[in-house]
Amino acid sequence: MKILVGYKRVVDYNVRIQVKPDGSGVVTEGVKLSANPFDDIALEEALRLREKGVAEEVIVVGIGPADLTAHLRNGLAMGANRAIHVTTSDAVQPLVAARAFLKLVEKEQPGLVILGKQAIDDDANQTGQMLAALWDRPQATFAGKVDVAGGKVTVVREVDAGLETIEADLPAVITTDLRLNEPRFIKLPDIMKAKSKPIDVLELSSLGLDTHEPLKTTHFAAPPKRGKGVMVKDAAELIAALKQKGLL
């Protein structure tokens, strides 16, 4: 069985985000870029399933500009067998990403697709669900534990009320939550081995899919700075201050 893993590059979670002066986006020039943390968890889970003998091949997939190759090498160094780079210079929204994944699914025929539950740049939390709908296969989101046996996957997922267990027939789509696992540390020998692993490069336009974006981001703005706190003597003064600000 093959496992397909989404692997997105984002601004590193330790970086303080700054909006461009013209409001057209966030500053990425000269900023550290790294793997989306949820995608590292997705890849780690795929590798563990391969080590258990559940799968034979793990494939990482990245959608982005030409310089994404170095990032995909990190996924290969972590242990993936090969990578697929879908090149595009445009920002990709979840629906287009899901359609691209569907084309790759049709080509590779994986038994399992594992994605991070969301990317920390847009926090959309949509691609996995959209892929499952387009593929017409079961989905299990926010996975905290994954077991595969007998042609089925059992996922313990985190929900508002606690934990929920889902059993689904394969092939299926899983999205990973933070507590699923701890991604492994990449060692220097693994980085050297990754240089010889194959990366298939495809242009997004060559997949023959509808790349029309139904949504368009018109402006980015930083959140307003917090004002100084105000001391009040009692509840009545607090209520009066809130009414003055139009909050009550």
Domain coverage including residue 170: 2-244
Alpha-carbon gap, residue 14 to 118, rounded angstroms: 17
Domains contained in the chain, number: 1
Q: What is the domain-level CATH number for residue 226?
A: 3.40.50.620
Over residues 56-71, the pLDDT tens digits come to 999 999 999 988 888 8
Give percent above pLDDT 90 in the chain. Answer: 63
pLDDT for 111: 95
Per-residue 3-state assignment (H helix, E strand, C coil) for 140-204: EEEEEEEEEECCEEEEEEEECCEEEEEEEECCEEEEECHHHCCCCCCCHHHHHHHCCCCEEEEEH
pLDDT digits (tens, 9 = 90+) for 186-240: 999 999 999 999 999 999 989 988 777 778 888 888 888 887 888 888 999 999 9
State the Cα–Cα distance between residues 174 and 172, nearest whole angstrom: 7
Residue 179 makes CB contacts below 8 A (sequence gap 6+) with 144, 158
Phi first, then psi: give them for residue 26, nearest 5 degrees.
Answer: -105, 155
d(CA 72, CA 59): 10
Nearest to 202 by CA among 76, 110, 107: 107
Q: Is the dihedral of CA 122, 31, 16, 78 positive or negative?
A: positive
